[in-house]
Structure 1
Amino acid sequence: MRLPQSLGWRLGLSGALVAALASALLGGYLYSSFEQQLLRRDDVQLLGKLRQLRQLLGHSGTPELLVSQADYLRDTMSGESNALIEIYAEPSGGGRLLLAINPTGLSLPRQPALPLNQEAGLQHLTHWTTPEGVPAAALNALAHLGASEVEIRLARLYPERRALLADYRLRIAAASLAAGGLAAVLVLALIWHGLSPLRRLHAQTVAIGPHSLALRLNAQDVPIELRPFVEELNAMLTRLEQGYGRLNQFAADLAHELRTPLATLTGQSQVMLSRPRTEADYAHLLESQLQELERLNRMVDSLLFLARSEHQALAGALQCQTLSAAEELARQADYFADLAEERGLSLRCEGDAPLWAEPILLRRALANLISNALRHARPGSVVALTARTEQESGLSCAVLEVVNDGEPLQPEVLPRLFDRFYRTDQSRHRDAGGSGLGLAIVRAIMEIHGGSAEVRQSPGQGISFALRFPSSSHTRSSQGLTQ
């Protein structure tokens, strides 16, 4: 039999089965206890009758009087018609039968008679069942009859016990079934009430969609056992909301970035086709369009790089090695020296630190930072390139820093500088150069290395971009876990 898929029905059926089993076991225990108590009561009463018979026979005069007092002996058994008495003149039943109160002629068990000086106990009783299926108990004992000894065979039939136990069994079975059914109903009701937070949780989750990602599940309305699960779901919804927002912003920025060069290419082509042009005009148009196409190619390459970095397609292919930060900074300073001189700037390198990185990606990150610093630095200022080693959480890390003295930015702008296509208002024009992906690529490169990219602004010290590379052992273990 296959259980229903509903959790409530499964718990309800399980609870009903447990309740029915518990009721049956309890009923069986009560029935067994009642049967034992009933049997003990009857046995104690039979032992009491034996004591009465011994006392009565001890005060009788002769066996003849015993025969004449048969009705009196029957009355001694409290008028119980199911009591059987046989008294023999000699022990072991070999003598003359003095008295027989046994209307049915039932053969009583023959067993060693209890001596005169021994008090009868429950262990001396014999229990058996008659051919008609009636339970019975018997006891043989010696007694004084005047100056002689006689053997008493005392027995009793219990037909009422069988009927009483049969009725009790029916009552126990009915009570067990009723208790099991009532318990099942109560269990189902309690489970239905206990699962109400899950139904409310279901209603809350149904209300969450692409246009309502700001909704959150109520963690206070669920049992304590489910609160960590609901809190993790809320955290996941927060990440989804942020990711969905970034995706929408990315789509809007991408459309904006592509619309400008496409509009330029389309407009130039329409103008050139509006009337005949000279060969020089066509050459100039092709050169201008080639620049736009190269810009589009760089943008596509950058987007592909970011997409691969997000799926960690580059992490497993890193060819990291130990590098000298001073040498790498000097290499970049030589490369950008002419551009800095053209803009009236100077580059200064300071410090050194060993770092574990992939050379090509490191140089690309540094080139993006330095070109960004040269683009926004004040004329005549110095762009500082520094390297140092810091301790962070008990681990050493190499820190490369690029500092430029540019126009101050609003504090709320700083956290968004590493977002894709984000550019400050004063540099939002294409003439300023760049596509708004340089700093996003820097952050992606640092995440691939297991490090971080940070930006901070200090009054009088300009804007500082810092790259933190963890130690080589930490980076290797992180890459091993990623792979």
Structure 2
Amino acid sequence: MKRHSPWFSFGRLSLTTRLSLIFALLTFAVITLAGFTLYRTLEKQISIRDDGALLTRVEQIRTLLSDEDVLNLIHNKPQLFANMLGNHEALLVLRFPGQAPLIEVNPGNSPVPVSTPVAADAQLTLAAVQHSMARDNTPFIAVSASAKTSDGPQPLEIISGRLMTERTHILAIYRQQIILLALTAAALTALLAFWIARRGLSPLRHLAGQTASIGIRNLSTRIDNRKSPRELTVLIDGFNQMLDRLEISFTQLSQVSADMAHDLRTPIGNLLGQTEVALSQQRSTDYYEKLLGSNFEELLRLSKMTDNMLFLARAEHADHAIERALLNIGDEFQRMGEYFEGPAEERGLSVILHGEGNIWADANLLRRALANLLANAIRYAEEGSEIVLESAAHPQGTKITVINQGQTINPQHLDRLFDRFYRADPSRNTHAHASGLGLSIVRSIMQLHQGQYSVVSENRQTRFSLIFPNK
């Protein structure tokens, strides 16, 4: 069953709004926690104060009753006790145990608590105060104590209490003020955080504007990080490096497309031109045979170029897997020497092999790389010279080198020899079998092996080196 996304999603909010909400919630939580901590402290202190005040009144009544004639005092001055309570919600009951109250002051009609009174000779402490809740959930405190009098042998029982309506009202106002203060502080924090976040994130908006202005036509543009915050420097450097790679790749792609069009145009033009000439009038059988032979060579060139491009496309795919195995170098060199013996003899060249030991590589890819290097060496070596194929141990694996004698390649071309369709001089375009992809295939093969490739050309000697890493 498909779920419907809620109308509100935190993930869809902007970073500025998220920061504002987070700071607002934190401010609300901190102020609320601090406020209610102070509230609990205040509540406790007020409770102790009220308990102490009630004990003081009871103690005052105790003292008064010990010095006066209780009955005459109650009869002549009943209002005195009401005035001593000082609150219309207070309770006072004076009675001898088991008898009716001598006086009862209870304007709030609070129920008289039943408890064991504190002895007349015992000191009153906060522990003597009883706490309960009235019917409307208002706190009620009460104290019961005995007092010695001159009216009889029995002590007089004093029951005093108070309904804490006023305290409840004050604490409720305090709670409301805490919530109001927390909400106000959260709102102000949100507004301030929003303003700070917008100013703080302005470099990101500037960066987004710069990146949005970069397209195919201005890939050479780079993002200026001189006025950017230190935290964005790494990101900007990463963007610039990505732009460097994109510019290089796009330039290479454009060059490859142009070179492909140029290289494909030559054989296709030859095919069209020769065929058009042949069809212009009746020709002899020998002419048609030569034409078909020439067209066959051009078609072979096109087929080889297509195969090479397909190989490069597959080799550069991230999921392309190779099957490495431990190969005998001597056997592989002997195979290459026998294969190129004929083409080398046609130009009076001799192939010298110096290889022993083993190499960890994909057999087919190794042979293709060596074949491309040897074909390249035979193509451009001086007639009558030697081509050397040798191997040697290397700290990072096994090094294979192909050496030929011939024209020295200009140093400015060496770094681009392995690019597609790149040729060091225009004269190489004239070779019938040169597609300009051989060395780029070698580069792809070495990248698949995670190896290294290089070329050095000096003193009329060119050395192509491949380093295959160990397993």
Same fold, judged at TM 0.5 (above)? yes
Of 49, 52, 55, 2:57 maps to 49
1:481 corresponds in structure 2 to: none
Task: Judge conservation of contact 1:139–1:154 (CA < 8 Å) in 2.
Answer: yes
The answer to whether 1:144 aligns with 2:143 is no
Letter in 1 for 2:305: M
Equivalent pair of 2:89/2:108 in contact (CA under 8 Å): no
Q: Please, which of 324, 327, 347 is the counterpart of residue 323 of structure 1?
A: 327
The one-letter amino acid of 2:352's match is: R
1:129 and 1:136 in contact (8 A); partners too: yes
Q: Note closer, same or farther for the CA distance 1:173–1:431 as it changes in structure 2 (3 Å cut).
A: closer
TM normalised by structure 2 equals 0.84
The 3-state SS of whatever aligns with 1:347 is strand
For residue 302 of structure 2, the aligned residue among 296, 299, 312 is 296
Query: What is the CA distance between 1:245 and its match in structure 2?
Result: 1.6
Closer/same/farther in 2, CA of residues 104 and 455 from structure 1, 3 Å limit:
closer
Residue 456 of structure 1: CA displacement? 2.1
Matches within 5 A, 1:192-211: 192-211=198-217
How big is the shift at 1:37?
2.6
Partner of 1:387, secondary structure, is strand
- Report what 1:164 is aligned to: 170
Whole-angstrom distance in 1 between the partners of 2:418 and 2:117: 109
Are positions 1:153 and 2:152 aligned together? no
Does structure 1 residue 454 correspond to structure 2 residue 462?
A: no
Residue 306 of structure 2 is aligned to residue 307 of structure 1: no
Distance in 1, Cα, partners of 2:346 & 2:269: 31
Q: Take 1:301 and 1:352, find their aligned partners in 2: how far apart are those partners? A: 32
Partner of residue 13 from structure 2, selected from 6, 26, 37 = 6
For the pair 1:183 / 2:182, whether they are aligned, the reply is no
Pick aligned residue for 2:67 from 41, 59, 62: 59
2:126 alignment partner in structure 1? 122
Q: Which amino acid aligns with 2:441?
A: I
Structure 1 239/129 Cα, relative in aligned 2: closer, same or farther at 3 Å?
same
Between stretches 59-68 and 289-298, larger displacement belongs to 59-68
- CA–CA separation in structure 2 for the residues paired with 1:444 and 1:132: 88
Shift of 1:260: 1.9
- Any gaps of 5 or more consecutive residues in structure 1? 475-483
Task: Give the Cα–Cα distance (whole angstroms) in 1 for the partners of residues 43 and 255 of structure 2.
Answer: 83
Q: Are 2:218 and 1:212 equivalent residues in the alignment?
A: yes
Count of aligned pairs between the two proteins: 460
Counterpart of 2:67, as a letter, is H
Whole-Å separation in 1 of the counterparts to 2:301 and 2:109: 124
Closer, same or farther: CA 145–434 of 1 in aligned 2, 3 Å: same
Which whole-Å deviations, capped at 9, do the CAs of 1:350-382 have from their partners, x for residues lacking one?
Answer: 241212344444333222212222332334433
Question: Is 1:35–2:43 an aligned residue pair?
Answer: yes
By how many angstroms is 1:295 displaced?
A: 1.8
Q: Secondary structure, in 3 states, of the residue corresponding to 1:468?
A: strand
Residue aligned with 1:110, SS: coil
Q: 2: distance between equivalents of 1:283 and 1:130?
A: 122
Distance 1:269 1:83, change over 3 A: closer
1:50 CA drift (Å)? 2.0
Hey, what's the Cα distance between the residues in 2 that align with 1:300 and 1:205?
37
Which one-letter code corresponds to 1:352 in the other structure? E
Assess, with a 3 A threshold, how the Cα gap between structure 1 residues 132 and 345 changes in structure 2: closer, same or farther.
closer
| 1:465 alignment partner, SS class | strand
Gap change, CA 1:312 and 1:123, over 3 Å in 2: closer
Give the structure 2 partner of residue 428 of structure 1: 428
Q: How much is the aligned-residue C-alpha RMSD, in angstroms?
A: 3.4
Contact 2:74 2:102 in 1 (8 A): yes
Counterpart-to-counterpart distance in 2, 1:150 and 1:452: 110
**Offset at 1:16?**
4.2
- Structure 2: tracts of 5 or more residues without a match: 1-5
Structure 1 residues 243 and 57: alpha-carbon distance in aligned structure 2, compared to 1, 3 A threshold: same
Structure 2 vs 1, CA of residues 29 and 442 (structure 1 numbering), >3 Å: closer, same or farther?
Answer: same
In the alignment, residue 40 of structure 1 is paired with which amino acid?
I
- Other structure's SS at 1:43 match: helix
Q: Structure 1: how far apart are the matches of 2:72 and 2:436?
A: 133
**1:66/1:434 CA distance change after superposition, 3 Å:** same
Give the superposition deviation at 1:61.
5.3
Q: 1:386 to 1:47 in 2, by over 3 A?
A: same
Q: Counterpart of 2:244 in 1: which secondary structure?
A: helix
Please point out which of 344, 349, 359 is paired with 2:353.
Answer: 349
Which residue does the alignment assign to 1:367? 371
> Does the 8 Å CA contact 2:301/2:433 hold for their aligned counterparts?
no
> What is the SS of the residue equivalent to 1:297?
helix
Q: Percent identity at matched positions?
A: 37
Alpha-carbon distance change, 386 to 108 in structure 1, aligned in 2, over 3 angstroms: same
Secondary structure of the corresponding residue to residue 412 of structure 1: helix
